[in-house]
Amino acid sequence: MHVLAVGLNHHTAPLEVREKLALGSWQLKEALISLFDHGPEGIILSTCNRTEVYTLADEHYSERTRVEDFLSELADMSVSELSPHLYAFQQEMAVSHLFRIASGLESMILGEYEVLGQVRQALQDAESTGLISPPLLNLFQQAVRVGRRARLETGISRNSVSVSSVAIDLAKKTFDDLSNCKVLVISAGEAGKLAVKALVKHGISQLIVTSRSYERALALASAHGGKAIPFHHLKEPLIEADILITSSGAPHFILEPSVVAEAMQSRPHRPLVLIDIAVPRDIDPRVKDIENVYLYDIDDLETVSGWNHRKRAKEKGKVMTIVDAEVAKFMPWWHSLEAVPTITALVSKAEKIRRTQLTRTLGKMQMSDEDRAAIDAMTQTIIKKILHDPIRYLRNSDQRDNYIQAVQELFDLDNKVSS
């Protein structure tokens, strides 16, 4: 049994491609079931910078084709169009990749915390389907544990910035002093909360919050001295605001050029900074052609996050040491799973022989139930002791594949499958 990871991220695919594969929390369960219908079980990790599928594969990794077909269908692109953006990792490389993601090493904002929650959410969504086998679930459980350990034992996330807080650095390219700025935040989720927290630190003059859930928008705004507005009442706030930060989670644009152009007519000569950290994007990119409008998307964050990478470069090496050690500890357990079908078949055959012979022998003897139970327990112990060393070698030996084949042939086991 092998682990295979197939996906794309901000290094291999532009935003225009990534957003086609971005999945909201309400879409993940349906996507997991669709993946299962394509053949392999799998766990889907979808963040603003990546979409990846982790699945079990045979020794020839034939599942890769089925995963690529699934992703192409999801993106509504042909395999030939999508495949140049895809990568695939196998075994140790796949495990190391996931552990690095959970530790914040693969994020655009090095060490950011949100990704650990996203790995945890991917695990919970997969568990809820009831379709995922224990090995994959354990892989993600270990990834969450490694991510926590990396943050506890190193400074990779100390005074950590988030996507939302780096977005505010983009706004400062236009407005040196944010204390005089009015800001509209379209999100009351995690991204919105982090943005508001960072904005309040900069002492903005006025905060306006909106969301598809007015109640959540009201709670967030009230907690920080701002005001909430209904989701579809954006006309007046667009005229008033200096900065807009959005991450609504909508599957389509919520701000079209016509809406922004109309607002700009009522505020001539005043710049408007629009920061779209949503994937898929909330703002039609044609908005950037409007005079005095400065539009940034998630990929623009990289231009202002370089200092964060330099600041944490020393910690990156420490985290990699942890990741490498955890991969080295995890892989022997993973490899031992290759022997499980053979071990199960071996134990089952031995137990069948034991029961058959025990029944035949005890049927010819007159003895108490207590004596029968004692003989039954004794024969179980004999079987366990005889099989103990073979099972240990099957699980732990570097020559596991040879031992598996030998045991299958020597004991004529029904489970004659290649590991």
Straight-line distance from the first to the last Cα atom of the chain, in angstroms, rounded to the nearest whole number: 6
Name the residue among 16, 401, 327, 409 with its Cα closest to residue 143.
Answer: 327
Token output for 394: 């099957």
Which residues, other chains included, contact 232 with Cβ-Cβ below 8 Å and sequence gap of 6+? Answer: none
Which amino acid makes up residue 169? D
Whole-angstrom Cα distance, residue 6 to residue 4?
A: 7
Cα distances (Å, whole numbers) of residue 70 to 8, 22, 52, 174, 401: 13, 14, 11, 42, 31
181 is catalytic: no
Residue 88 CA to residue 102 CA, distance in Å, equals 18
Q: Which two structure tokens, joined as six digits, stand for 211?
A: 């969301």
> Max Cα separation, the chain?
105
User: Annotated catalytic residue: which of 3, 17, 45, 48?
Assistant: 48
Rg (CA), the chain: 28
Confirm if 248 and 211 have CB atoms less than 8 A apart. yes
**Two tokens at 343?**
């071990």
Residue pair 189/195 in contact by the 8 Å Cβ criterion: no
CB 270 within 8 A of CB 239: no
**In b/e form, how buried is each residue of 242-256, taking b as 16+ CB within 10 angstroms?**
bbbbbbbbbeebbbe
Question: Active-site positions?
Answer: 48
